[in-house]
Amino acid sequence: MRFLPMYNIHKFFARKPHNVVGAYIEHYSREGQIVLDPFCGSGVTISESLKAGRKAIGIDLDPMATFITRMTSKPLNTQKFLDAYRQIEKTLMDKIEALYLTQCRSCKQTIPAIVFIWDNGKLVEVGYECANCSTGRVRKPISQFDINHLAKIEKLKVPSHPTNKLYYETGLPFKEKQKYESVEDLFTKRNLIALAWLLEEIKKIDDSDIQDFMKFAFTSISQRGSH
């Protein structure tokens, strides 16, 4: 099933096919009527109801579900969003890039890395592309530079971030907890720092709607920085 772009913005489990939901709404309700979804999940029913000219009420115990529903259904001022993004980029680009440096093996220039490869909790390889000496994209074993740089990062203090344990209040672990004990364990130190910096800047945005949309984008991509 291929979802519409609006439903691909943010991941959510068990999302229902929008075309099937839309067909049910068209068949069982009339324009202007109220559609109630007491377990709205990611909000496909809500969005499809609004698109079909119905009014919609969505309810869910999961605050992330109602947040995704609200943001998916809400209009966005793209210019304001882009302006906020550019401000964050201006503030953080160099600072975050400095966390992900390596050294070109050919010309010895310090450059941004493209990817770091970990194996069983140990950094083993780094991928990069050097414009200085026209070295194409390569992956190399870590160097002493990489080891020293990582050691410096490990000494940095992580800004405020979630430290929730991956257990229920009863003490039982989450079904998919696997080997990690808390949210912060899901990320490397440098990724956790970079994400914390990003969230700090997002929270400084004065426009509450744009801040929410930025958080929507942030929560959508943050899992890509996990192990």
Q: What CATH number did the domain enclosing 36 receive? A: 3.40.50.150
Q: Same structural domain for residues 60 and 84?
A: no
pLDDT in tens, 138-177: 999 999 999 999 999 999 999 999 899 999 999 999 887 7
Q: Same structural domain for residues 46 and 91?
A: no
On the question of pLDDT at 15 being above 90, the answer is: no
Task: Report the distance separating Cα 176 and Cα 188, nearest Å.
Answer: 19
Q: Same structural domain for residues 111 and 193?
A: yes
> Which of 53, 73, 93 is a domain's end point?
73
Q: Same structural domain for residues 90 and 66?
A: no
Give residue 33's pLDDT band: very low, low, confident or very high (50, 70, 90). Answer: very high
Q: What pTM value is reported for the model?
A: 0.87
> Which of 15, 44, 73 is a domain's end point?
73
| Least confidently predicted of 40-49, 79-88, 157-166 | 157-166
Handedness of CA 215, 220, 224, 227 (dihedral sign): positive
Task: Report the distance separating Cα 30 and Cα 222, nearest Å.
Answer: 39
Q: In the prediction, which pLDDT does 1 show?
A: 57
> Which of 36, 56, 73 is a domain's end point?
73
For 130, the token pair is: 């050097």
Q: Same structural domain for residues 181 and 95?
A: yes
Q: Same structural domain for residues 150 and 177?
A: yes
Residue 114 CB-density burial (10 A; 0-12 exposed, 13-18 middle, 19+ buried): middle
Q: In the prediction, which pLDDT does 36 show?
A: 97
Q: How many domains in the chain?
A: 2
Q: Same structural domain for residues 94 and 148?
A: yes
Q: Same structural domain for residues 186 and 211?
A: yes
Q: Same structural domain for residues 84 and 191?
A: yes
On the question of pLDDT at 80 being above 80, the answer is: yes
Those residues with Cβ within 8 angstroms of residue 4's Cβ, 6 or more apart along the chain or in another chain: 18
- How many Cα atoms occupy the beta-carbon half-sphere of 69 within 13 Å? 25
For residue 77, the Cα-to-chain-centroid distance in whole angstroms is 20
Q: Same structural domain for residues 50 and 88?
A: no
Segment 121-128 shows an average pLDDT of 94
DSSP state of 167: B
Mean pLDDT value across the chain? 93
DSSP 3-state of 1: coil
Q: Same structural domain for residues 127 and 33?
A: no
Give residue 195's pLDDT band: very low, low, confident or very high (50, 70, 90). Answer: very high
DSSP state of 5: H
Neighbours of 209 (CB within 10 A): 15
Three-state SS for 104-136 is CCCCCCEEECCEEEEECCEEEEEEEEECCCCEE
Q: Same structural domain for residues 116 and 33?
A: no
Task: Report the distance separating Cα 45 and Cα 28, nearest Å.
Answer: 13
- Which structural domain, as residue segments, surrounds residue 25? 5-73
